[in-house]
Structures are given as structure tokens and as C-alpha cells.
């Protein structure tokens, strides 16, 4: 659960500030999480780069944070791409940059848990 303190820290305006505030709140609530977890990307067996997701929570949920005026399809595609790369079924895309807190639950349709 996001506490109001994280949302009200919006005056700072930078994504990293929201990440730090959310990390503090998750620690207070005893949630296990990894921040800015990096994953290697390979093409044809050759390392070509890395990806970094904002949070993994309880080894189950990916949280990608933005501080933009409006979420767009590119942000949604990035979140889904992270789910596929990390082989996770579900994640959250949270935007602190709009007038009110905006979030979307995103799904990896390629994950077995989401095939029905």
C-alpha cells in the first residue's frame, strides 16, 4: 500500500525521490524488495546490454515508476517488456508526475500464470 507521504512528496518532482520514499515505506511495512535490479540481455548468446527495473517486490511483482505528466504507450510497452524479460506475471506502472497519482496494473500475457 502506498502511503500518502510518498504521494505528497511529489513536490520534489524527480523519479529518484519517489523511489527513495517508496523504498522507505516498503521497509517500514516489512516487504522484501530489490531496488534498481539489473538484468543482463543476450542476443544469440552474446551479452549486448542490461536492463534495470525500479523495484522487485516480494520476488513476485515488478514496479516501474515514472514522473511524467501523462503515461503513454511507450511507458506501458517498457513495463510489459520488463515483465517478459524477468519472466514475471504481473507488475505495476506508477506515475507520480500527473496531477493525481496514476497507476496501471500490467500483465505478461506470455507468462503461464496468465494463460487461461
Q: 8 pLDDT exceeds 70?
A: no
Domain 4-114: state its class: alpha beta
- pLDDT 10s digits, 43-89: 888 998 888 899 999 988 999 999 898 999 999 999 998 898 888 89
Residue 43 burial by Cβ neighbours in a 10 Å radius (0-12, 13-18, 19+) = exposed
Q: 31 pLDDT exceeds 90?
A: yes
Percent of the chain at pLDDT > 90 equals 46
Show the CA angle centred on residue 61, arms to residues 66 and 18, nearest 5°. Answer: 30
State the number of CA atoms in the 13 A half-sphere of 7 facing the CB: 11
Q: Measured between alpha carbons, how far is 79 from 86 in angstroms, rounded to an integer?
A: 11
pTM of the model: 0.81
Higher-confidence position of 102 and 32:
32
pLDDT at 107: 95
Amino acid at each position: 500500500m502506498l502511503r500518502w507521504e510518498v504521494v505528497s512528496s511529489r513536490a520534489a518532482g524527480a523519479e529518484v525521490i519517489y523511489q527513495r520514499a517508496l523504498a522507505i515505506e516498503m521497509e517500514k511495512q516489512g516487504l522484501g524488495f530489490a531496488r534498481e535490479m539489473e538484468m543482463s540481455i543476450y542476443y544469440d548468446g552474446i551479452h549486448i546490454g542490461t536492463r534495470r527495473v525500479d523495484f522487485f517486490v516480494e520476488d513476485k511483482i515488478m514496479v516501474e515508476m515514472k514522473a511524467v505528466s501523462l503515461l503513454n504507450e511507450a511507458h506501458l510497452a517498457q513495463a510489459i517488456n520488463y515483465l517478459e524479460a524477468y519472466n514475471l506475471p504481473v507488475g505495476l506502472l506508477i506515475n507520480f508526475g500527473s496531477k493525481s497519482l496514476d497507476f496501471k496494473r500490467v500483465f505478461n500475457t506470455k507468462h503461464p500464470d496468465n494463460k487461461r
